[in-house]
Structure 1
Amino acid sequence: MVQISKPQSARTSRESAAPSPAPTSADVARLAGVSRATVSYVLNNTSAVRISEPTRRRVHEAAKELGYVPHAAARSLRAGHTRIVLMPSPSVPAGPLYNAFFNDLQWALSRLDYTVVQYGSVSLRGDDAARAWAELRPVAVLTPPDLGAEGVEVLRRSGARAVITLGPERAEGAHALLMDHREVGRSAGAHLVERGRRRIGVVLPTEHGLDHFARPRLDGVRDAVLGTGAEVFELPLTYDEESAGQLVPEIVELGLDAVFAYNDEYAMLLMRALQDAGVGIPEETAVVGADDLMLGRLLRPRLSTVRIELPSGQELAALVDRLVRAPGAVTESHDMLRARVVARESS
């Protein structure tokens, strides 16, 4: 029997290609000259134990040099739950206001040692989505209000200490952060009626998914004009110049003296089309948007808008943390959305 030995260079190449063992907290402790407990306290941002700043810096530098990061799964096993806060990805395009709000919230939660995960489940809704989310074992979930009582219970049984809905209604068994967009429409409608406008068009985007916000805003305008003699007209609009141009003759034919657009972007699009057609703003038709974008202030005339005020991400993160720490707390409702008109030249 003949044995064939591989060349030394081949063995060396294979051995060098073998992955190095992952660094451990013990390795970090040796390099930093501290105990493993101290490494854990520092890298897990434990506030219950006082660690000097030089020691913290030494531990972080050692961890960086070794390429060590804490093992989230192992930490979760020790604690009995994860530190994941699950926020399902929005099913509709979010505007600048909500992007800023959720970015602020994620930053604030990370400061409290939570990991924010956005989970996309396009084909799943309500209780079916809850079962998919439960697989991640989140400690808290922020969800649309279409979650049913069964879905809330599934999440709680999987270890979620806080289930929080975001929307105009609440789900049974969950804490509710109410965001009623009728208030946006009511503010705009009341402003226009006060300015003497009596034939008010409301722009409804034709883009998929925006009805969730647009329809409540339309209802809010209708609430505001009750008993005033004013009339409200629906104006479907696709977000492009051609659609805006085609809408202008309808506005003129209906004799509309005011338009409340879904948001500032739609308002700016329509304002340009009205001005191109020679319609005076606000002399013939007043225009109001929503979200108070900087671009609206640069238009001429400057765009009147509804400023939507939401709590800071820090406030909401503190609420999530409180609910996680007290999972047996009675479910509550919190009104999140406030709206007020910022009147400028366009109305």
Structure 2
Amino acid sequence: MTEQTHRRVTSADVARLAGVSRATVSYVMNDTPAQTISPSTRTRVLDAAARLGYSPSAAARTLRTGRSDVVLCLLPDWPIGPEVGSMLGNLSTALARHGLTLVVHPGNREDRPIGEIWKAITPAAVIAYTDFSPGEIVAMRSAGVALVVASLGRGAQPDRRELAVPQQLIGRQQAGHLIAAGHTRLGYAYPDDDRVRIFAEPRLAGVRAECRDRQVGGPATETVALDPEQAASAVRRWHAAGITAVCAYNDEVALAVLAGVRLEGRSVPADLAVIGVDDIPPARLAAPALTTVTTDQVAVAAYLSATVVAAINGRPGPAVPTDDLVHLVRRESA
């Protein structure tokens, strides 16, 4: 192999091909303000960069601006389903509009210490869904890293930016739909996966709050595994307690409830109405098709990205976009 095969393309190579100075290449590639560069020169530089496959060094850009353009998202040990995937995809797109790059690290603290991760990447900001120790917070802030904690309904804690995505709205929407349909005794199908408690607890709290506000009994909570036999046992207990409708943690749990109802020889929604969350593709294919609640992930991503940009620039974050954030998808199951 030749030396050229291994050598990184530099701004000098682009300048040579475009017939301009390295400074001009830098101004064009970094879109430097207050520089008078003709459209034809800009086009020559961009064409040369494209032909050579050149892109500015991220390390050099960090040294020049004093700030990385990376936003590090530390995910807990969550199952990465369609909804989390949609959230991350939309967040990546929204941050890119601000010139920021999303890097996601799934896992837990046992895999690798938090400090090792952010020090290796030197991000402009960290989005996390778990708490940090006071020492970790001090270390990040001393390094100029903005910290954004997505609490998903937990109470605010001092000395941090709070990103409270209103999961309770989901539970309220579920219960509100069932109550409006005439149900006065509700159940809740809680997941058997401890990894998703951060979502499940505020959703259940929303169902409870709606039942309390509407003076409706329940919810009678059962932990429902993704297993037809175990789900059938929960259905039997709900039936014995006079429960006529169930809010499920998500669509997968709701599908398990549907399977349990079938095993019990009962029908949905005549014997038990069921409503899920997320509107995953199988929800539309269920028998009967699953009524569900979905979140506007584009709006959530815009909110998250605006909060990150505000944190980086030391400004107050935006208000939570609660209006029209959660939507009901009506089908046959409830």
* TM-score, normalising length: structure 2: 0.84
Matched, 1:34 2:20: yes
Measured on the aligned residues, the alpha-carbon RMSD in Å equals: 3.0
* SS across alignment from 2:194: coil
Distance 2:215 2:319 in 1: 31
Structure 1: how far apart are the matches of 2:2 and 2:120?
38
- For the pair 1:146 / 2:131, whether they are aligned, the reply is yes
Specify every segment of 5 or more residues in structure 1 that has no aligned partner in the other structure, as ranges: 1-14
Residue 94 of structure 2: which of 108, 111, 114 is its match?
A: 108
Confirm or deny that 1:345 pairs with 2:332. yes
1:41-60 paired onto structure 2 within 5 Å: 41-46=27-32, 49=35, 55-60=41-46
Matches of 1:52 and 1:170, distance apart in 2 = 51
Alpha-carbon shift at residue 262 of structure 1 (Å): 0.8
Secondary structure at the counterpart of residue 319 of structure 2: strand
- Secondary structure in 2 matching 1:172: coil
Displacement of 1:336 in angstroms is 4.7
- Please, which of 148, 159, 175 is the counterpart of residue 164 of structure 1? 148
Cα deviation per residue 1:251-285 (whole Å; 9 max; x = unaligned)? 33333211111112221232133134331211111
Which residue, out of 266, 269, 275, partners 1:282?
Answer: 269
Question: Where do residues 90-129 of structure 1 align in structure 2 (5 Å cutoff)?
Answer: 90-120=76-106, 122-123=108-109, 129=114
Taking the aligned partners of 2:168 and 2:121, their CA distance within structure 1 comes to 34
Give the TM-score normalised by structure 1.
0.81
Match of residue 191 from structure 1: 177
- 1:52 shift after superposition: 5.7
- 1:108, 1:333 → 2: CA distance? 15
How far apart, CA to CA, are the structure 2 residues paired with 1:340 and 1:16?
58
Distance across 2 between alignment mates of 1:238 and 1:50: 64
Aligned to 1:4: none
- Percent identity between matched residues is 34
Matched with 1:317 is 305
Local SS of the residue matching 1:271: helix
The residue type paired with residue 138 of structure 1 is P
Structure 2 unaligned runs (5+)? none
Alpha carbons 2:172, 2:206 under 8 Å: kept = yes
The structure with the larger Rg is 1
Deviates more, 1:291-300 or 1:254-263: 291-300
Distance in 2, matches of 1:109 and 1:51, equals 28
1:300-315 paired onto structure 2 within 5 Å? 300-310=287-297, 311=299, 313-315=301-303
**Whole-angstrom CA distance in 1 between matches of 2:158 and 2:205:** 25
Alpha-carbon displacement from aligned partner over 1:168-194 (angstroms, at most 9, x marks no partner): 233423322211322211222222223
Classify the secondary structure of the residue corresponding to 2:121. Answer: coil
Contact persistence 1:182–1:218 (CA under 8 A): yes
Report what 2:48 is aligned to.
62
Q: What secondary structure is seen at the aligned counterpart in 2 of 1:86? A: strand
* CA distance in 1: counterparts of 2:182 and 2:37, whole angstroms: 65
Matched ranges for 1:70-89 at <5 A: 70-89=56-75
CA distance in 1, matches of 2:144, 2:330: 48
Q: How far apart, CA to CA, are the structure 2 residues paired with 1:237 and 1:55?
A: 64
Q: 2:227 aligns with which of 240, 244, 268?
A: 240
- Give, as a single letter, the amino acid of the residue that structure 2 aligns with 1:30: R
Q: Secondary structure at the match of 1:70?
A: coil
Task: Tell me how far apart the structure 2 counterparts of residues 290 and 121 of structure 1 sit (CA, whole Å).
Answer: 24
* Separation (CA, whole Å) in 2 of partners of 1:64 and 1:18: 17
Aligned partners of 2:309 and 2:35: how far apart in 1?
19
